[in-house]
């Protein structure tokens, strides 16, 4: 009967063999980036006192490659990232392709409290930052008649 350590070794070995199998298949498949491949950039979404903020990791992407829109209550970020060899205009033979490329899109439901007219976005060092300001709700006195 196998002990827990032996079972752990077997599972680890199985996992490593599976990874090698997929790596071998992908490296010989002629895998290329195309418009049917979708990927999803990693994002952080957080709230401050005055804003909601969405930060997306988009290395190698410029503002010309991104489209941001608000449709009803949904913030949509979409764009395209070229394969590195396409971006530098030098074809190459890839042995491993781990960097995502092609079309991407992310969508987020935004609260009613967002001031849609003043949403702004910047991109710096491969990080897209979208600031969704909260509506400033002012209290007012209601006179009694």
DSSP 135: P
Residue 117 has pLDDT above 90, yes or no: yes
Domain ranges (residues) in the chain = 1-30, 33-133
Residue 38 has pLDDT above 70, yes or no: no
In the chain, pLDDT over 70 holds for what percent of residues?
69
Contacts of 121 (CB under 8 A, 6+ apart): 68, 128, 129, 130, 131
CB of 110 within 8 A of CB of 75? yes
Per-residue burial over 53-92, b = 16 or more CB atoms within 10 Å of its CB, e = otherwise: ebbbebeebeeeebebeeeeeebebebebebeeeeeeeee
Contacts of 24 (CB under 8 A, 6+ apart): none
Report the half-sphere exposure of 123 (CA within 13 A, side-chain side).
16
Query: Bigger pLDDT: 35 or 59?
Result: 59
Structural class in CATH, domain 33-133: mainly beta
- What's the CA gap between 133 and 43, in Å, rounded? 18
Helix, strand, coil percentages, rounded to 5, for the chain: 25, 35, 40
Segment 48-100, tens digit of pLDDT: 999 999 999 999 889 999 999 998 899 999 999 877 556 556 777 777 777 77
Query: Bigger pLDDT: 64 or 9?
Result: 64
Segment 94-116, tens digit of pLDDT: 777 777 788 899 999 999 999 99
Tokens representing 6? 């032996």
């Amino acid at each position: 009967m196998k002990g827990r350590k032996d079972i752990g070794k077997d599972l680890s070995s199985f996992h490593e063999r599976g990874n090698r199998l997929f790596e071998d298949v992908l490296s010989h498949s002629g895998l290329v980036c195309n418009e049917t491949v979708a990927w999803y950039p990693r994002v952080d979404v957080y709230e401050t006192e005055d804003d909601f903020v969405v930060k997306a990791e988009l290395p190698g992407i410029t503002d010309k490659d991104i489209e941001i829109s608000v449709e009803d209550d949904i913030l949509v970020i979409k764009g395209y990232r070229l394969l590195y060899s396409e971006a530098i205009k030098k074809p190459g033979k890839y042995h491993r392709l781990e960097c995502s490329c092609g079309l991407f899109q992310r969508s987020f439901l935004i609260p009613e409290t967002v001031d849609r007219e003043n949403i702004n976005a910047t991109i710096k060092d491969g990080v897209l930052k979208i600031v969704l300001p909260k509506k400033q709700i002012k209290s007012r006195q209601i006179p009694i008649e």
